[in-house]
Chain A
Amino acid sequence: MIAIKDLKKSYNSHEALKGISFNIKEGEFYGLLGPNGAGKTTTISIMSSILTPDSGEVLINGNNIYTHPNESKRIIGVVPQEIALYNELTAEENLWFWGGLYDVPKTELKKRIDEVLTLFGLSERRKDKVSTYSGGMKRRINIAAALLHQPRIVFMDEPTVGIDPQSRNLIFEVIEKLHSNGMTIVYTTHYMEEAERFCDRIGIIDNGQIIAEGTLDELRKSSSAKETIVITFNNLNDDKVQKIQSFWKDCNHTDDKIYFYTSDLKTELSKIISQCSDAGADIHNIEIKKVNLETVFLSLTGKQLRD
């Protein structure tokens, strides 16, 4: 459905994209995960044909988006990162305007506006100016405006930044519904929970490069990220810490906690507990942190995802 081939883009001397390539299948939920400034928005802007790459190619449904921009634009809906709405117009007026730009017939558009307003729980506020909306409500209309022409592909560029939990949950439900209806979704975020929840496949982008790509399980396996056993002790002292560190090198000590890193949790957990007891340390609590996108990202880039 979407083929990205060796995209490169520089702003003056800064290389924003250093040759990005990936493919997205029809109906797939693809996540572009990376910290701020990694190149996510630049990639989405190029895929939406509003930014020209220095080199590379974007094929949407087999059409090059630069030679056939209108064919591509008609099947794409873009949810921009910023709330791109006219604040002095009502929600309904905004939807009429944005839907009208895709030449949706008037009667059909009216029906779709009613549908999206219901879907996003804003039917009762449809006649209110967007300026009177909360941040979460604005986010919902921002997404709704991208769906009126019933696109086959939706690019969502960090659509849940800075919103309340109620709106976030509602948006999540809508996104899942759209995906279950067969919509191809490209989702950029720096929230790992969102990527873990929605994405069939994830591309991790950093410094303008895709540094890893695959399903969540594939990423976990391919990375050197280890699971963490966090043990809290009673009366931990330097002598006990030294004894524990002598049998388990790959660990860190802070206050009354020791972090043990392992790639084989099932086998190593009982061994660690036993040796801690042998060292005379009194275990108060054990916590297990499994490998997630955050740790995968950390192991791949050496950076926190929200850096």
Chain B
Amino acid sequence: MIKLTIKDLRLFFKDKRSMLLSFALPIALITLFALAFGGAGQGKKDTKISMQVSDLDQTPSSASAMQVLDSLKNVELLKVPLEKAQENIKKGDQACVLIIHKGFSDSLTAGKELPLELQYDEAQEIQVGLLQQSLIPTIAMLPFNIGNPKAVMRNRFDKMVPGASDTVKQNIQHKSDGLFDAITMGEMQSDGNDNAGAGLFGGDIKMTKLVAAEKDNSLGLVQAVAGTAVMMLLFSVVGIGAGILDEKQEGTLKRLLYTPMNPIKILFGKMISANVISIFQLVVMFLFASLVFGLDIYSHLSGLIITIVATAFACSAFGVFLASFAKSRQQVQGLSTLIILVMSAIGGSMMPIFFMPAFMQKIAVISVNFWSIQSFYDIFWRNLPITSGTFLSRILVLLLIGTILNSLAVVLFRKNILKLS
């Protein structure tokens, strides 16, 4: 029995594929998910949520406000001109922009409501929600930190008790100023992030949906369908692509080469079948989501068809490329499991990318999943028309990925697969 155990252990440790799947893959995934969920390097800049700010007031007060916002631990402030910021949101590159409108300084001095507006993409409401939690207390405390809190108090009391006599108002004002002086003395030691005064001063920000979400489709549903569909499609197209290696192993490839057919047509045939199956698979998945979960696909049919075709093209090219690159089906399976899980994790198949740290969001662009899922967001959530530059640019990237991978597959097919010796 011990001999059998030792033999099995020897076989296991000699099998590189088993080693890869047992150790390297889980370690890689743990690392990846730790990075994705912000578990690594806590407190570093990369774990912050990014927020654009456009300062239209351009006064020392607005600059001070920016400084206060910039000191927030979990927010990365990006100072961007308004037009550019709005463009970034429409493209889906950023979730929101905080606009400091003209008159901010005057309002601050006069203790009036601050002209602040948060324009955002409803598709990224979770990220915006997280930002609000940090922003509201800080903005509420802006008059306290950089403005005229007594004037704010005065205005608030005027609003709260509009029918009060001047004597009553003066009395309240006097007590309030005294109370405020006492608070100021104590709060001067605070870091400014404390929300003690939030309820008193308010923290109102005008919220404006720059990109409205399609009401019929929930974000979670779009994420679940698109994310899962793309990830599973990648797994299945790799299987189709690996068919080339099966043909080589079983001798049918050699037999195909005996015929008058141009050898490269063998690869093209595989590419076309992979595309057709991919399109079919995506259609079935979205029909299922429509029938069972009520995903509204019919209002977005043209966009859906375009995205499905582009996704199928890029994913099938990935499958054929990987098969042409590898030497055996076993190698394809090992490689594909690793690559697809990594791409799915960073590309947003497993969770929305806005949950991830900024640097992970930046590297998401290297995955097919990212471009495809964002395209599905564009049509089902951001409700972009198919003529939208943002949507078309993503489709173009998918087609480009497909073209590059297919071209590489042709080169590798000639070099690796057709080499029969």
Contact = CB atoms under 8 A, between A and B. Distances in A.
Contacts of A102: 259-260
A101 B254 contact: no
Interface string B229-269: 00000000000000000000011101111111100000000
B26 to A, nearest CB: 34
Contacts of B252: 84-86
Contacts of B421: 11, 51
Nearest to B249: A82
A102 B260 CA distance: 7
Contacts of B255: 78, 80, 84, 98, 145
Interface residues of B, number: 13
B251 A78 contact: no
Contacts of A45: 420
B250, B252, B258, B259: most-surrounded residue (chain A CB, <10 A): B258
Contact of B261 (A11, A48, A101): A101
A199 interface: no
For the residues of A in contact with B, the DSSP-based class is: loop
B260 A74 contact: yes
B251 A50 contact: no
A201 B420 CA distance: 29
A73 B259 contact: yes
A73 B250 contact: no
A51 B258 contact: no
B254 A84 contact: yes
A69 interface: yes
B251 A80 contact: yes
A83 B256 contact: no
Contacts of B251: 80-84
A48 B258 contact: yes
A206 to B, nearest CB: 20
B420 A82 contact: no
Given A83-B251, A84-B251, A85-B252, A76 B258 contact: yes
Interface string A66-81: 0001100110101011
A82 B260 contact: no
A34 B256 CA distance: 26
A51 B254 CA distance: 10
Contacts of A76: 258
A110 to B, nearest CB: 19
Contacts of A78: 255, 258
Given A45-B420, A50-B420, A51-B420, A73 B260 contact: yes
Nearest to A87: B250
Interface in A49-76: 50-51, 69-70, 73-74, 76
Interface centre among B255, B257, B260, B261 (most CB of A within 10 A): B255
A45 B251 CA distance: 13
A169 B250 CA distance: 26
Contacts of B257: 48, 50
Given A80-B251, A83-B251, A50 B258 contact: yes
Contacts of B261: 101
A73 B257 CA distance: 10
Nearest to A83: B251
Interface string A22-46: 0000000000000000000000010
Contacts of A145: 255
A80 B254 contact: yes
B250 A84 contact: yes
Interface in B399-421: 420-421
A101 B257 CA distance: 10
Contacts of B250: 82, 84
A101 B420 contact: no
A82 B250 CA distance: 8
Interface of B: 250-252, 254-261, 420-421
28 contacts: A45-B420, A48-B258, A50-B257, A50-B420, A51-B420, A70-B260, A73-B258, A73-B260, A74-B260, A76-B258, A78-B258, A80-B258, A82-B250, A82-B251, A84-B250, A84-B252, A84-B254, A84-B255, A85-B252, A86-B252, A98-B255, A98-B259, A101-B256, A101-B259, A101-B260, A101-B261, A102-B260, A145-B255
